[in-house]
Amino acid sequence: MDIAQYRRHAHRLVDWMADYLETVESRPVRSAVAPGEIEERLPDRPPETGEPFERIFADFERDLLPGVTHWQHPSFFAYFPANSSPPSVLAEMLTAALGLNCMLWQTSPAGTELETRALDWLRQMIGLPEGFAGVIQDTASSATLCAILAARERATEFAANRRGVSGEDRLTVYTSAESHSSVEKAVRIAGLGSESLRAVPVGADGAMRCDALAEALERDVAAGARPILVVATLGTTGASGFDRLDVAGELCRRHGAMLHVDAAWAGTAAIAPEFRWMLEGVEHADSFVVNPHKWMMVNFDCSAHFVRDPAAFVRTFEIVPEYLRTAEHGRVIDYRDWGIALGRRFRALKLWFVIRSYGVEGLRAIVRRHVGLAGELAEAIAREDDFEVVVAPRLALLCFRYRPSGIDDPAALDELNERLLHTLNDSGRLYLTQTRVAGAYVIRFCVGQTVTERRHVETAWSFIREAARGLPR
């Protein structure tokens, strides 16, 4: 493809991209293809000679789009959002065009210095105290892994890096039973083993029980273990529980453990002061992660990781072979030493574009709209006799279930709600996911798409009622 063709195709694609956002609402939210269906449409051998772009793009539309689940659809209420926005996509286009690898300061000073500045903006926006330095990781999973590795090294005085972890170290990690699976995955990858992870039970509010955390810590210390880290969650994935940072922080201090805060989804809400209650005690945190790629209109991937003591992270990760040595080393930030990968995308650009385009007030307004819509939906659900709000909205996530009179058997209710969920999702009109609360199968409803308005939530709710009442019983 020469530059003249590139220019022509790029113009056409930009039009396609704008049309897509304008019409995404008319597409089925969740792809309806069967496993293997897309792969079957694709030739099993690569082409020996180049093909014209027109043909490649036509195949994209014909063969791939049916297999796309439309995350930017206004009726996407599943999981947590991975929302996006026009300024973010524009930045991503520039990022791709520049094709930088921001692994070292020298390999793109603007990449590093914009990252430092944009993350300090974000720190101020969400009300984190001064003294946290930020880095962009690809995902919250990576940030949590980095925190566990740094905690492991700090506890072993950086010896585990050299000799590996041994069973004799008896390092233990604590998190709530409702925390994200990425915590256990990180514990495994860090070589500590799942058995050294304590899943602390949650109370009725979905938050880690502080008394149970204190007991677990004391029991382990009495048995000769070394607690190295507590991972507290703000906004658990299942039903949005919020762990108490002040109490967890105090316990960490008492036992010499680090505190990592996973606020992957909920942290964005802290840009609005009325939602900052969740941050009480955050001054105790050593590490804090929030994903602008979930709820802050920044397209995937962009995970903001704030750390108290960057030197501990650098000491955990830094290896300087000759081919990566630069004259500035030690005087500048080389972000590759703050995480796992060497190569790093220029992700700060989209964060910067988004913050500047919307302004903090504009971003707050969107978050407030989402939270307000979830509250209105909960009220509407509570007004119906045959539905039940199981978890009242905390921010923009709530859980509900269909509970018609005459069905009391828990297994029958689970089965009914599971069928309801499949009926809803198969319709293509909206997309929802499930979780379990105290053993019961419930449907999660999370409002968070950039363009979701009241009418989308209202339409979803009337469709849910209609579908539930029409289910064969």
Ligand X SMILES: *Cc1c(COP(=O)(O)O)cnc(C)c1O
Examine residue 80 and tell whether it contacts ligand X (CB under 6 A). Answer: yes
Minimum Å gap between C-beta 306 and ligand X is 15
Minimum Å gap between C-beta 66 and ligand X is 25
Examine residue 83 and tell whether it contacts ligand X (CB under 6 A). Answer: no
Examine residue 207 and tell whether it contacts ligand X (CB under 6 A). Answer: no
Distances from the Cα of 29 to the Cαs of 20, 61, 152, 218, 443, in angstroms? 13, 16, 42, 48, 17
Nearest to ligand X of 281, 292 (CB atom): 292
Minimum Å gap between C-beta 246 and ligand X is 19
Burial of 204 (0-12, 13-18, 19+ CB in 10 A): exposed
User: Is the peptide bond preceding residue 220 cis, with omega within 30 degrees of 0?
Assistant: no
Distances from the Cα of 68 to the Cαs of 13, 33, 50, 181, in angstroms? 17, 9, 25, 25
Examine residue 140 and tell whether it contacts ligand X (CB under 6 A). Answer: yes
Nearest to ligand X of 290, 464 (CB atom): 290
Structure tokens at 409: 């058997």
Examine residue 115 and tell whether it contacts ligand X (CB under 6 A). Answer: no
Examine residue 313 and tell whether it contacts ligand X (CB under 6 A). Answer: no
Using CB under 6 A, pick the residue from 83, 268, 303, 434 that binds ligand X.
Answer: 303
Examine residue 275 and tell whether it contacts ligand X (CB under 6 A). Answer: no
At 286, give phi and psi (nearest 5°): -95, -20
With H, G, I as helix, E, B as strand and everything else as coil, classify residue 171: strand
Minimum Å gap between C-beta 320 and ligand X is 28
Minimum Å gap between C-beta 147 and ligand X is 12
Burial of 19 (0-12, 13-18, 19+ CB in 10 A): exposed
Q: Which residues contact 277 (CB under 8 A, 6 or more apart)?
A: none
Which window, 54-62, 69-77, 100-108, 135-143, contacts ligand X (CB under 6 A)?
A: 135-143
Nearest to ligand X of 231, 468 (CB atom): 231
The sign of the CA dihedral 121, 124, 130, 136 is negative
Which window, 60-68, 139-147, 309-317, 387-395, contacts ligand X (CB under 6 A)?
A: 139-147
Q: Give the dihedral of Cα atoms 327, 328, 334, 336; nearest 10 deg.
A: 10
Size of the site for ligand X (CB under 6 A): 14
Strands 433-437 and 440-446: antiparallel
Q: Which of residues 38-77 bind ligand X (CB under 6 A)?
A: none
Distances from the Cα of 92 to the Cαs of 72, 154, 242, 249, in angstroms? 16, 36, 33, 37
Examine residue 186 and tell whether it contacts ligand X (CB under 6 A). Answer: no
Nearest to ligand X of 123, 294 (CB atom): 294
Nearest to ligand X of 32, 199 (CB atom): 199
Q: Which of residues 227-266 bind ligand X (CB under 6 A)?
A: 233, 235, 237, 262, 264-265
Examine residue 139 and tell whether it contacts ligand X (CB under 6 A). Answer: yes
Minimum Å gap between C-beta 247 and ligand X is 19
Structure tokens at 265: 């989804």
Interface residue list for ligand X (CB under 6 A): 80, 139-141, 180, 182, 233, 235, 237, 262, 264-265, 291, 303
